[in-house]
Amino acid sequence: MRSMATPSKASLVKDLKKANIDVPASAKIADMQHRLKYWKDGAGILFRLLKNPNASYNNHPISLVENRDSLYWMPNSEMSERIIKTRLVLILGRTNKPSKDAIVIDVPSDYDSRWIHGGNNITN
């Protein structure tokens, strides 16, 4: 039996499919583990920035969105829920795959330490 520290690619693919999360094109173990940790079941969010965030959002995931003229896509995740709660974005739709002209914002690998345990943990 394999330990949780070194899962096989096959078991990760199976877990991603069970969670209804797309397998990354790279099929790297680290990428699959990242998706299992941070992504949630369901389609990602296609959106635009409506209003630039003020300084109170410097330690918030909305700080990853920089341009009001750009189209963005992010996976369904805790981070996307926090960004939506700011009400600074316009949701254009939900889709499993980003459009070709969308900037993809994935959950950063340091999300927990940056915004949950290490940041100021703004909830809106």
Nearest alpha-carbon partner for 75 in 113, 119, 36, 110: 36
The per-residue pLDDT for 62 is 94
* Same-domain check for residues 93 and 49: yes
* Same-domain check for residues 24 and 58: no
Cβ pair 44, 21 in contact under 8 A: no
Cβ pair 79, 61 in contact under 8 A: yes
Domain that holds residue 93: 42-124
Q: Which structure tokens are listed for 84?
A: 């939506």
* Same-domain check for residues 33 and 89: no
Cβ pair 111, 35 in contact under 8 A: no
Structural domain total, the chain = 2
The per-residue pLDDT for 117 is 59
* Same-domain check for residues 69 and 86: yes
Please indicate, yes or no, if residue 17 is contained in any of the structural domains: yes
Q: Which structure tokens are listed for 79?
A: 């981070």
The per-residue pLDDT for 45 is 96
- What are 76-123's pLDDT values in tens digits? 999 999 999 999 999 999 998 898 999 999 999 899 888 875 554 444
Rounded CA-CA distance 110/50 in Å is 26
pTM above 0.95, yes or no: no
* Same-domain check for residues 33 and 46: no
The per-residue pLDDT for 108 is 92
The per-residue pLDDT for 25 is 85
- Residue 42, C-beta contacts closer than 8 angstroms, at least 6 positions apart: 20, 76, 94
* Same-domain check for residues 21 and 51: no
- What are 2-11's pLDDT values in tens digits? 445 678 899 9
* Same-domain check for residues 47 and 18: no
* Same-domain check for residues 90 and 122: yes
The per-residue pLDDT for 26 is 83
Please indicate, yes or no, if residue 1 is contained in any of the structural domains: no
* Same-domain check for residues 63 and 122: yes
